[in-house]
Amino acid sequence: MRCSAPSKLMLLLAAAGSFLLSMTATAHAQKPPVDPGPDSAVTCIPHERDALLAFKQGITGDPAGILALWQQQQPDGGHGDDGEHTQDCCRWRGVRCSDRTGHVIELRLGNANNDIVVDRDATALVGQISRSLLALEHLQHLDLSYNNFSGGPTGRIPEFLGSLKNLKHLNLSGIGFHGSVPPHLGNLTQLQYLDLFSSSSMGAAYSTDVSWLAHLRFLRYLNLGSVNLSTVTDWPHVVAMLPSLTVLRLPGCSLSGMLPEPVAQLTSLVALDLSRNSFTGPLPEFIGNLTGLKMLDLSSNKFTGPLPASVRYITGLRTLDVSYNNLTGLPREVGTLSSLTGLYVSHNSLEGDITEEYSRSLKSLQHIDLSSNFLKIEISTKWKPPFAKLRSANFANCKMGPMFPAWLKWLVGIEYLDISSAGITDRIPDWFPTAFSNASFLSMSKNQLSGELPANMDIMSSLDELDLSNNSLSGQIPKLPNNLTYLDICINSLSGSLPEDLGLPNLQVLSVASNSITGSVPRSICRSQGLRTLVLANNHLDGELPNCFGNNVMLFLDLSNNIFSGMLPASMQNCEMLQVLDLSRNMFSGRFPVWVGKLKRLRFLRLRQNMFSGKVPTNLTNLGCLQYLDIADNRISGSLPRNLSNLKSLKQKQSAEMCSDVFHVRVFAVNFSTFLKGQQLSYGSIPRIVGLNMKVIDLSFNNITGEIPEEIATLDGLLNLNLSKNHFSGNVPSKIGAMQSLESLDLSGNKLSGEIPISLSTLTFLSYLDLSYNNLTGAIPSGSQLDTLYAEHPNMYTGNIGLCGPPLKNNCLKTDASEQGPFTRTEEGRWQGFFYIGLGYGFLAGIWLVSCALLFMKNWRIAYFCLFDKLYDKAYVLVVTWWAKADQEDMQLS
């Protein structure tokens, strides 16, 4: 996904944009240049200046001061000869007057920041479009694009604009009007350019009748992007009546059905954009009648069938985009389009073999995207492609292997190449650094590339992003290209040590996970001061981290499953932005780092399986974003901090705070399993855990003493709480029933005493419970939830000699339990010998059956009988459990 997005967007825009620029440039070239000189004869006409000032009155916000110098005449003299506060409205920003008549003929107030959504507001004019514009009778060019104008109370495009009868150019794009498009625009009979484009997120304008367009005899450019035209069926007729129309853009106009036949009559068109609609059915042959097209964009529709071979008649076609449809075939004739610079067919259902023939005449090709289809690229190793100017190529998910496609070596100008998941099982060729020495993006991930990385890789000096992950590469990591910002070589068989000069100046993301790298982390890594993501997990790295390690932009640090040792360097406390810290399964030692409490954005902390000692620092509870805390299997001692309720992100109702900021770390395919419900379960990758907001505390296998703070019960978002194998004493927190999200609770192997709180039986999501090997006493709380858990895991109360009552055999009235043994199974593994009565005395004669229930859990059948003993005035639950069908796994339960 991430690979095709930039290619499509940037490159399509580059191609189409340059073409349109050349069109608009010719349009503007006719106009004489603005002459702002003081000796210019042009001065502004007073009533037009008043109209402009009245327009300014309608503007309530102008953060960039675009209209700051549009000023009323100062009564006390101050004439505008300082050039700043000029009276001459012809010299105001955005205004242009006719040299001949002095009338205002152009008002260009389009927001320059129309590309970047975040910056748009900073330069947008806010307010109303004033009727005073009507006084500018000679206005020919009005551009108000990408400003924040509300079109009056209805949000419509103002009808009065239809009275500016000399307009040739009207640009209201990116404003986001609502309501119906006023047919009054049909009065603008001189109009040549009409741009009403908005993105679908901006507005909800619609039109149910576009017949007014037919009056615009001189219209050359029409963009109604995102205007809902779903009820308009005759649009092709109407636009066919516009003799001068060369550019028609109707993206996102909610058009549906088959492509209407009258489209074939739009033969004067140079550019046709019908993208992001819901057209269905096969792409008709008559597309080939639009022989004048240079740009055809039919992407993001629901077209089916093959791309018609008639495209060969569109001999001047430069950009063809049919990506994101459901096309099944790509005709060979595409290869005859000798002017084609951009071919985008990704994300279809295209099948078949792409052979040399497909590109016979594609001399001009600069961008090609065949990704995410079922295509097989079958090209001889000796073939030299005709497209010497290719700049971007996306062949992801095409079948190109098993041999590495040799013809790629001719693509010496390539800047962007994606051949991921291409079924290549070859050695990585030595020539790739030389051939791709101009590339800035290179992805060959998810193949079975073998052999060593070329030693001269560093000659790829333009390389920005390199993804070789998920291959079978071996050998050492060579000297890396100096300008890399992104390097992913995870999941390979690389060995040796990390390169000494790892600290590339621009490096932001480095993943070397799941290889066989040895040695230590070189000190040079500290030079990568922009490093945001570092993933070295699953290698054999050892030694201490360099004492300069860490920076203040790092978000994601995963060093898990290596053999790192020693203390953490103090420099790591600079990692104030860190959201994920995983040091698990190493041999780090020393005190639990107190400075962790400073990493205010930390969401995920896993120090599992190291040798950290000392106390859990009190200010760990400063971490209001922490949702995953796993420090299991260390040598942590002392008692827990009391103020656990400060761990706000472990509650159900968490305040948004700063934790909600986008977790923008690319997902690495490094999975990690952890203990949940007593089994090894894979939660998936860390981004998944964090993304799904799984809330976990695991402190097991340490040496923690003291009581379990009662405050822990306030963490009612927690799914998994594991405090097992420590030295906790005192009682189980009585309010434990408040932890309503708990699915797994393990307090086993401690010194907890007292009774099991009754509230435990209210934890309805609990699916794993272990209280074994403590010093708990008294009756076990009743409740079908706990009974069910017991049936699954009958050892959960074991080792607490003081516990009594059902479902245990010893009852609280000091009578002997029944003789029934533990779970047994027969050879056939069928219904068998487990019959258990949870009461020590049974006057069956006096017992009434009140109700019963039958549960089916995995392979167990559990029947509950609620019995009422009238003799003793007591109620009991009789549980009958038996194997339905046994298999290996279930034996592990007992």
Ligand X SMILES: *[C@@H]1O[C@H](CO)[C@@H](O)[C@H](O)[C@H]1NC(C)=O
Q: Specify which residues 143 forms β-bridges with.
A: 108, 171
Minimal distance in Å, beta carbon 184 to ligand X? 4
**Nearest CB to ligand X, comparing residues 212 and 834:** 212
**Nearest CB to ligand X, comparing residues 201 and 851:** 201
Q: Which residues form the interface with ligand X (CB under 6 A)?
A: 24, 110, 114, 121, 124, 126, 145-146, 148, 162-163, 171, 173, 183-184, 186-187, 193, 195, 212, 221, 261, 264, 286, 289, 304, 326, 328, 349, 461-462, 483, 506, 594, 597-598, 617, 619, 622, 635, 637, 703, 751, 753, 775, 777
Minimal distance in Å, beta carbon 597 to ligand X? 4
**Buried residues in 124-151 as b, exposed as e (16+ CB within 10 A):** bbebbbbbbbebbebbbbbbbbbbbbbb
Minimal distance in Å, beta carbon 462 to ligand X? 4
Q: How many CB atoms lie within 10 A of CB 679?
A: 11
Minimal distance in Å, beta carbon 777 to ligand X? 6
Minimal distance in Å, beta carbon 527 to ligand X? 14
**Nearest CB to ligand X, comparing residues 220 and 367:** 220
φ and ψ at 199, to 5 degrees?
-80, 155
Minimal distance in Å, beta carbon 163 to ligand X? 5
Q: Give the whole-angstrom CA distance, residue 558 versus residue 524.
A: 18
Minimal distance in Å, beta carbon 273 to ligand X? 12
Contact present, 736 and 756 (Cβ < 8 Å): no
Classify the C-alpha dihedral 742-743-746-752 as positive or negative.
Answer: positive
Minimal distance in Å, beta carbon 336 to ligand X? 18
Q: Give the whole-angstrom CA distance, residue 364 versus residue 357.
A: 15
CA distances from 61 to 107, 144, 156, 854, 894 (A): 18, 14, 20, 69, 72
Q: Give the whole-angstrom CA distance, residue 102 versus residue 405.
A: 65
List of E strands, 290-391: 295-297, 304-306, 319-321, 326-329, 342-344, 351-354, 367-369, 374-377
Q: Which residue in the block uniquely carries the two structure tokens 């084609």?
A: 340
- Return the DSSP state at 663: -
Q: Give the whole-angstrom CA distance, residue 396 versus residue 376.
A: 11
**Radius of gyration of the chain from its Cα atoms, rounded to whole angstroms:** 36
Q: Give the whole-angstrom CA distance, residue 819 versus residue 833.
A: 12
**Nearest CB to ligand X, comparing residues 191 and 686:** 191
**Nearest CB to ligand X, comparing residues 98 and 163:** 163
Minimal distance in Å, beta carbon 146 to ligand X? 6
What is the Cα 15 distance to its own chain's centre? 26
**Nearest 10 degrees: Cα torsion 412, 416, 422, 425:** 50
Q: Give the whole-angstrom CA distance, residue 725 versus residue 748.
A: 6
**Nearest CB to ligand X, comparing residues 145 and 445:** 145
Angle at 330 between CA 326 and CA 335, to 5 degrees: 145
CB-based contacts of 577, cutoff 8 Å, min separation 6 = 552, 553, 554, 555, 601
**Nearest CB to ligand X, comparing residues 80 and 179:** 179
**Nearest CB to ligand X, comparing residues 74 and 233:** 233
**Nearest CB to ligand X, comparing residues 193 and 604:** 193
Task: Supply 553's token pair.
Answer: 């932009």
**Nearest CB to ligand X, comparing residues 673 and 703:** 703
**Nearest CB to ligand X, comparing residues 110 and 401:** 110
Tell me the helices (H) and strands (E) count for the chain, helix number first: 9, 56
**Nearest CB to ligand X, comparing residues 171 and 445:** 171
**Nearest CB to ligand X, comparing residues 171 and 584:** 171
Minimal distance in Å, beta carbon 613 to ligand X? 7
Q: Give the whole-angstrom CA distance, residue 767 versus residue 790.
A: 10
**Nearest CB to ligand X, comparing residues 193 and 864:** 193
Q: Which residue in the block uniquely carries the two structure tokens 């060579």?
A: 478
Q: Which residue in the block uniquely carries the two structure tokens 């009565």?
A: 837
At 735, which amino acid appears?
K
**Nearest CB to ligand X, comparing residues 107 and 791:** 107
Q: Which of 443, 450, 446 is nearest to 422 (CA)?
A: 446
3-class DSSP string for 232-256: CCCHHHHHHCCCCCCEEECCCCCCE
Minimal distance in Å, beta carbon 381 to ligand X? 30
Minimal distance in Å, beta carbon 439 to ligand X? 11
**Nearest CB to ligand X, comparing residues 459 and 850:** 459
3-class DSSP string for 67-86: CCCCCCCCCCCCCHHHCCCC
**Nearest CB to ligand X, comparing residues 591 and 858:** 591
Minimal distance in Å, beta carbon 311 to ligand X? 13
**One-character DSSP codes across 566-619:** EPPPGGGGG-TT--EEE--SSEEEEE--GGGGG-TT--EEE--SSEEEEEPPGG
Q: Give the whole-angstrom CA distance, residue 676 versus residue 698.
A: 10
**Nearest CB to ligand X, comparing residues 178 and 184:** 184
Minimal distance in Å, beta carbon 610 to ligand X? 12
Minimal distance in Å, beta carbon 832 to ligand X? 38
Minimal distance in Å, beta carbon 630 to ligand X? 17
Minimal distance in Å, beta carbon 31 to ligand X? 13
Angle at 521 between CA 519 and CA 522, to 5 degrees: 105
Minimal distance in Å, beta carbon 326 to ligand X? 4
Q: Give the whole-angstrom CA distance, residue 525 versus residue 502.
A: 6
Cβ-in-10-Å burial (0-12, 13-18, 19+) of 656 comes to: exposed
φ and ψ at 687, to 5 degrees?
-55, -30
